Amino acid sequence: MKILVTGAWQCTEEQLNIIRNMGHEVVFMQNEKDRCPVDYAWIEGVICNGLFLYHDIRKFTSLKYIQLTSAGFDRVDVDYINANNITIYNARGVYSVPMAEYALCGVLQLLKNTRFFDENQKKREWVKNRSVLELCGKNVCIVGCGNVGTECAKRFKAFGCNVFGVDLYPRQDESYSVIYSLQDLTSALSKVQVVVLTLPLTEESRHIINAEALASLPDDAILVNIARGGVVDTAALIDVLSAGKLGGAVLDVFEEEPLSEGSPLWGMDNVIVTPHNSFVGDGNSQRLADVIMTNLRGN
């Protein structure tokens, strides 16, 4: 197979040679926005992330294989890919561990009010805080029970939480006490102290956390979004937070990125804002390489 590899995969020359030794021809392209180094018709397979945001997929007339370095499929035309019998893989499981650790860390920061102690440390002030809370015993709802969601469930369960899920395809899973249907989302949210969003962004899931869903949450609930910004109605979330009707939010993704300097989310004491960074981890490189090599060997 003739493969275009982009800089979305920070591979080594040794890894490229392994692919060549499988019998594939390889061309490397560092920046996905750049001009393609070969004729589009030459390319039969790609290893990329946002390549098709800058290069029309219809120009790749010989394309039969796509390996994404992302977990989401929102940067590719899935309908076109399916209609043209193109095999596509995502980075399934690659980023689940750091994302789950991030979700747990963010919730603990809010419950333990670490921002208060951090500010006092900077001022060298010895001030106790009697309002910190425990995570143990809390009801945690994972919305989207795929790899990322399940890694989150395992960690919250280890902290003594009652973890249940909401998913398009309910199933029995030892990591959850129960997994509800997506139709039961509002009812499920009414029972939680923590809700973690890990579901993919689709037309059906866009703004699934809207004013109605937010109103169903208890006033002390913490919302964590490590999915995509578009699954949350940002304006509705800001309204709820501004009214003091939510315990807090841990937000790593936003409808518009980067987050505007003028967004009120930056200045809210009970909101943790990070720049789409939850997926970063020192084990990602090896996990991604393993996924890529395994999928190539199977094709």
pLDDT digits (tens, 9 = 90+) for 172-203: 999 999 999 999 999 999 999 999 999 999 99
pLDDT at 229: 97
Q: Domain of 89: which CATH number?
A: 3.40.50.720
Do 224 and 88 fall into the same domain? no
pLDDT digits (tens, 9 = 90+) for 230-255: 999 999 999 999 999 999 999 999 99
Do 20 and 52 fall into the same domain? yes
120/74: higher pLDDT: 120
Q: Is the dihedral of CA 88, 91, 96, 99 positive or negative?
A: negative
pLDDT digits (tens, 9 = 90+) for 196-233: 999 999 999 999 999 999 999 999 999 999 999 999 99
Average of pLDDT values for 43-57? 98
| Catalytic residue (one of 115, 257, 261, 297) | 257
Bridge partners for 290 per DSSP? none
Peptide bond into 98 cis (omega under 30): no
Do 90 and 136 fall into the same domain? no
Total tally of structural domains belonging to the chain: 2
| Catalytic residue (one of 207, 276, 287, 297) | 276
pLDDT at 95: 98
Is residue 228 among the annotated active site residues? yes
Is residue 20 among the annotated active site residues? no
Domain span at residue 13?
2-94+282-297
Do 14 and 139 fall into the same domain? no
Do 217 and 72 fall into the same domain? no
Q: Give residue 196's identity as a one-letter amino acid code.
A: V
Do 196 and 250 fall into the same domain? yes
Is residue 212 among the annotated active site residues? no
